[in-house]
Amino acid sequence: MYYDLRGLYWWPGMKKDIAMYVSKCLTCSKVKAEHQKPSGLLQQPEIPEWKWENITMDFVNKLPRTRSGHDSIWVIVDRLTKSAHFLAIRKDYKTEKMARLYINEIIARHGVPVSIISNHD
């Protein structure tokens, strides 16, 4: 609701006020429940048996641009050893460029992982 209204209205504490209103609104809670998939139980991933078998990855975005044009960092972490690769990237890299970088930097060094955990769709 805040994002719908912010283009038309603004006041100090607006986001907090809207969140409070929506949390107490019976109609809002019913409508929201219909549109959101119910969350499942949090499941702890199994402990890996071998290094670089299971990895996690995430992106650090909105960084100051470097001279070479990089503005993000792709963080890839081995879940067993916690060792990590920090790959300088640009937010506008195409999928093909990201795939090549992943193959050259991760798969070439550690092989293909069994599983990858990421919060990005």
| Residue 64 and residue 14 share a domain | no
Which residue segment(s) compose the domain that 84 sits in?
54-118
| Strand, coil or helix: 55 | strand
Residue 59, domain member (yes or no): yes
The answer as to whether 13 is a domain residue is: yes
pLDDT in tens, 2-14: 677 777 888 898 8
The string of pLDDT tens digits covering residues 61-120 is: 999 999 999 999 999 999 999 999 999 999 999 999 999 999 999 999 999 999 999 986
What was the pLDDT predicted at 19? 83
Q: Which residue, chain included where needed, has tokens 């299971």?
A: 54
pTM: 0.64
27: Cβ contacts below 8 Å, ≥ 6 apart: none
Judgement on whether residues 60 and 111 belong to the same structural domain of the protein:
yes
Tell whether 44 is covered by a domain: no
